[in-house]
Amino acid sequence: GESVGLHLPTLSVQEGDNSIINCAYSNSASDYFIWYKQESGKGPQFIIDIRSNMDKRQGQRVTVLLNKTVKHLSLQIAATQPGDSAVYFCAENYAQAGTALIFGKGTTLSVSS
Amino acid sequence: DGGITQSPKYLFRKEGQNVTLSCEQNLNHDAMYWYRQDPGQGLRLIYYSQIVNDFQKGDIAEGYSVSREKKESFPLTVTSAQKNPTAFYLCASSMNPEVNTEAFFGQGTRLTVV
């Protein structure tokens, strides 16, 4: 399960700030990690992924950091915009689950302008 | 447009009835998945299929059944044995059953037991 100390169920930021969403994953054998964004009443949308042989990966305005030592994953969003308001989920994959993703509980990001 | 289509968007069921949720994809993906989402919660894996005519139970398979007779279709049946079926159901697919890649999600079916 997730580490309560690292996971915050909600995060409120001002427009233009940088946001950091944390996730503690459960399985030390996990080798693939992914972040999704979910807007109310919709299916999750892919943001960025990372494999266990990397510790950082950058996309457009987003960066994912992986710390395998403490089983921690973070998503950084630069210059957060109101359209970024949503629930963010991290997910992991390990061999016993085939290619299925195992999801964390999610963090609700609220961006005020 | 390529994508995953779930139908219907909203579904109401009487207690004791079985109901089938549809999931169709035209992405030519090998693997398909069903997840359940309860309010304020994450997604929990019900069943997944990595290839036609084969599927595996996820974490919460009790009270559900699936079939995978065609590559593009992965219907989920919620049976009367499922004690608390009211939830948001999400179907997803991914390209390759051998290599981890992102899963693409449908827009979900909201099932309510009345």
Average pLDDT across each block of 10 residues of chain B; the chain has 114 residues. List them in order. Answer: 89 94 96 94 94 95 98 97 95 84 94 94
Contact B97 A89 (CB under 8 A): no
| Minimum distance, in Å, between the CA of residue A39 and any CA atom of chain B | 10
User: Residue B55 corresponds to which amino acid?
Assistant: F
- Residue A2 in this model has a pLDDT that exceeds 50: no
Question: For A82, phi and psi rounded to 5 degrees?
Answer: -55, -35
**A3 has pLDDT over 60:** no
* Cα(B63)–Cα(A100) distance, integer angstroms: 20
- Per-residue confidence (pLDDT) for residue B37, from 0 to 100: 96
Question: Does the distance separating the beta carbons of B100 and A31 come in below 8 Å?
Answer: yes
Instruction: Please report the pLDDT score of residue A7 as a whole number.
Output: 67
Please choose, from the candidates B91, B86, B58, B87, the residue with its C-alpha nearest in 3D space to the C-alpha of residue B76.
Answer: B91
Distance of CA A36 to the CA centre of its chain: 7
| pLDDT tens-digit series, residues A12-64 | 999 999 999 999 998 999 999 999 999 999 999 999 999 999 999 999 999 99
Mean pLDDT of chain A: 91
Residue A100 has its nearest CB partner, among B48, B105, B110, at B48
Is the CB of B102 inside 8 Å of chain A's CB atoms?
Answer: yes
Quote the pLDDT of residue A1: 35
Whole-number percent of chain A with pLDDT over 90: 81
Query: What are the chain A neighbours of B105 within 8 Å (beta carbons)?
Result: 36, 43-45
Q: Find chain A residues with C-beta within 8 A of B58's C-beta.
A: 100
Contact between A99 and B56 using a beta-carbon 8 Å cutoff: no
Q: Which of B42, B48, B50 shows the shortest C-beta gap to A89?
A: B42
Q: How far is B92 from chain A (nearest CA, A)?
A: 9
Q: What is the DSSP string of A11-80?
A: EEEETTS-EEEEEE-S-TT--EEEEEEE-TTS--EEEEEEETT-SEEE-SSEEEEEETTTTEEEEEESS-
Q: Dump pLDDT digits (tens) for A80-99.
A: 999 999 999 999 998 878 88
pLDDT value of residue B113: 93
